[in-house]
Chains A and B, each alone.
Chain A
Amino acid sequence: MSKSVSSSASREAMTAADVRRAIVRIAHEIVERNHGVVGLAIVGLQRGGTWLGEEIAAQINKIESEVSVPVGALDVSLHRDDISLRPVSLGAISNIPFDLSGATVVLVDDVLYTGRTVRAAMEGLNNYGRPRAVQLAVLVDRGHRELPIRPDFVGKNLPTHRGDDVSATRDGVFVTPNSEVKS
Chain B
Amino acid sequence: MKHLRSIDELGVDGLVDLLQLTDHMAEINQRPVPKVPALRGRTVASLFFEDSTRTRLSFETAAKRLSADTMTFNVSTSSVNKGESLRDTVATITDMGVDAFVVRHKSVGIPWQICQWTKASIINAGDGAHQHPTQALVDCYTIREATHAQNFAGMKIAIVGDIKHSRVARSNIQAFTLLGASVVLVAPPTLLPPDVSHWPVTVSHRLNEVIGGVDVLYMLRLQSERMAQGHVPTLREYSEQYGLTQQRVQALKSDAIVMHPGPMNRGVEMQIDPSDVKNSLIHRQVANGVSVRMAVLFKLLGSGSNLGGQA
Contacts and interface: CB of A to CB of B under 8 A. Distances in A.
Contact of A128 (B31, B304, B310): B31
Q: Decide if the interface of chain B is mainly helix, strand, loop or mixed.
A: loop
A127 interface: yes
Contacts of A126: 33
A88 B24 contact: yes
A163 interface: no
B17 to A, nearest CB: 7
Contacts of B306: 83-84, 87
A19 B177 CA distance: 48
A4 B311 contact: yes
A87 B33 contact: no
A121 B108 CA distance: 44
Contact of A79 (B17, B37, B298): B37
Contacts of B27: 75, 93-95
B33 A90 contact: no
B150 to A, nearest CB: 10
Contacts of B21: 88, 90
A127 B31 contact: yes
A84, A123, A126, A128 interface centre (most CB from chain B within 10 Å): A84
B24, B33, B306 interface centre (most CB from chain A within 10 Å): B24
B33 A93 contact: no
A39 interface: no
Contacts of B302: 78
Interface string B300-311: 001110111011
Nearest to B307: A87
A78 B33 contact: no
A124 B36 contact: yes
Interface in A43-87: 75, 77-81, 83-84, 87
A79 B36 CA distance: 6
B37 A87 contact: no
Interface residues of B, number: 25
Interface string B7-40: 0000000000100110110011001111111100
A137 to B, nearest CB: 23
Nearest to A82: B303
A91 interface: yes
Nearest to A81: B37
Nearest to B24: A93
Nearest to A90: B20
A129 interface: yes
Nearest to B17: A90
B32 A129 contact: yes
B23 A93 contact: yes
Contacts of B33: 126-128
Contacts of B17: 90
Nearest to A94: B27
B307 A88 contact: yes
A3 interface: yes
A91 B37 contact: no
B17, B20, B66, B308 interface centre (most CB from chain A within 10 Å): B20
8 contacts: A79-B37, A84-B304, A84-B306, A87-B306, A88-B21, A91-B23, A126-B33, A127-B28
Given A3-B311, A4-B311, 6 more contacts: A77-B303, A78-B38, A78-B302, A84-B306, A90-B17, A127-B35
